[in-house]
Amino acid sequence: MAFKKIFCPDCGSQTQVNDEKEFCFCLECGYKITLQSGSSLDEGAQTKGHEDKSMQDNDTMENDHFAADEKLKEVDFYYQLSRDKKEYEKPEEEPVYYLKAQDLLVDLSQQYPQDYRIWWELSKPLDFMRVSPNATMPNQCGINENYFGRALDLAGIEDKKRLIDAHDKYVTEKKAALALEEKAREIEEQEKRRQIEIERQRYEEERKRREESEARKAAEKIRREQEEQAQKEAAAQEGMRLSAELWKCLEAKDYSVVNARYFRLSEGEQTIIGIFRTVSNVLYLMSFRMEQGKNHVIYRDQTVSVKFDKEGYALKYDNRPLKIKGMMPPNDRLRVVNNGLGGYSVNHMELLQDDDFVNNILKDSKKPFISFNKTFL
């Protein structure tokens, strides 16, 4: 009994076998290898039920070589189809024609295990026959070094040199192509990062512009409010200055400034209209209620005779202060002032003049059957 070295026809790995066994299994891939029972195998030979090629005569070897040539032409045909369809550029798809060529080569390796060309063709990866060095290179592809080593063992000296040159050329170009792809990916990633940074800067600039715009608007709003407040204060001061003459007239029962004028007071879902009216040199203050949802019916609620003191406050005829319901002291006392803007106000409500409006209210108003509403107290 002796142990010999052979090459697995399936994966190309070298393995040891007992030359007295009829078959063995590859230690690398588990492939079942059929041996010729009772024969002594030369080191480096392999078989799957075929006679050792070294035992064949020249005629048989030539016939086998010719038969292998015809099969290799078919292999080349499928390789060419694979190149034409650029299967090497579609890693997500099954390389149908490349696999057909490989299947043929596996069968040939079992029939003609001593033909180095078959092992050489088997060693070629999917992208070995690529169209150009700049084509997309599947990173997972590479020469099957076990099959390549088997081809070298079986080839002659000149063929060995050619195979080594082709092997090294592929490896060199593959490394160069992968390096180019890696560089392209780096450039692409850099461009993506640059675009992200540009977008970030653009967003920050836009955010800053928005904040500045909002700050300007807020500052402008504050400025306008301050101006309006200053104008109101100035108007109020001017109004108080001008009110002194108004109050003299009202205290002297000159009601021409307020006669037939009105003011509006909102109270919940209703609007109160207050109208000053002079009758026989007596000034009356009448209140009218306009309720929503009732076809705008106007009810007359109160009529109070009033007069004014020297500071423009309204008084009842018994000299009690006239107050407006719902207002908090000290603004609840009814007071007529010059508003400093060319008009007059009752407390914070503008005293308006519209003869038609006043006459229509006086004409259309109704007296409720029972009324518990009081606007002036």
SS3 of the chain: CCEEEEECCCCCCEEEEECCCCEEECCCCCCEEECCCCCCCCCCCCCCCCCCHHHCCHHHHHHHHHHHHHHHHHHHHHHHHHHHCCHHHCCCCCCHHHHHHHHHHHHHHHHCCCCHHHHHHHHCCCCCCCCCCCCCCCCCCCCCHHHHHHHHHHCCHHHHHHHHHHHHHHHHHHHHHHHHHHHHHHHHHHHHHHHHHHHHHHHHHHHHHHHHHHHHHHHHHHHHHHHHHHHHHHHHHHHHHHHHHHHHHHHCCCCCCCCCEEEEEEECCEEEEEEEEEECCEEEEEEEEEECCCCCCEEEEEEEEEEECCCCEEEECCCCECEECCCCCCCCECEEEECCCCCEEECCEEEEECHHHHHHHHHHCECCCCCCCCCEC
Percentage above 70 pLDDT, the chain: 80
| pLDDT the model gives residue 30 | 57
pLDDT of residue 46: 45
Over 50: is that where the pLDDT of 282 sits? yes
Taking the C-alpha atoms of residue 279 and residue 377, their distance in angstroms, rounded to an integer, is 21
Per-residue pLDDT of 315-361, as tens digits, reads 999 999 999 988 888 889 999 999 998 999 999 899 999 999 999 99
What pLDDT does 351 receive? 97
Percent of the chain whose pLDDT exceeds 90: 56
User: Which pLDDT belongs to residue 356?
Assistant: 95
Q: What's the pLDDT score for residue 51?
A: 41
In this predicted model, what pLDDT tens digit does every residue of 152-183 receive, in sequence order? 999 999 999 999 999 999 998 888 888 888 89
Q: What is the pLDDT of residue 7?
A: 75
pLDDT at res. 253? 95
Q: Which residue has the higher pLDDT, 59 or 54?
A: 59
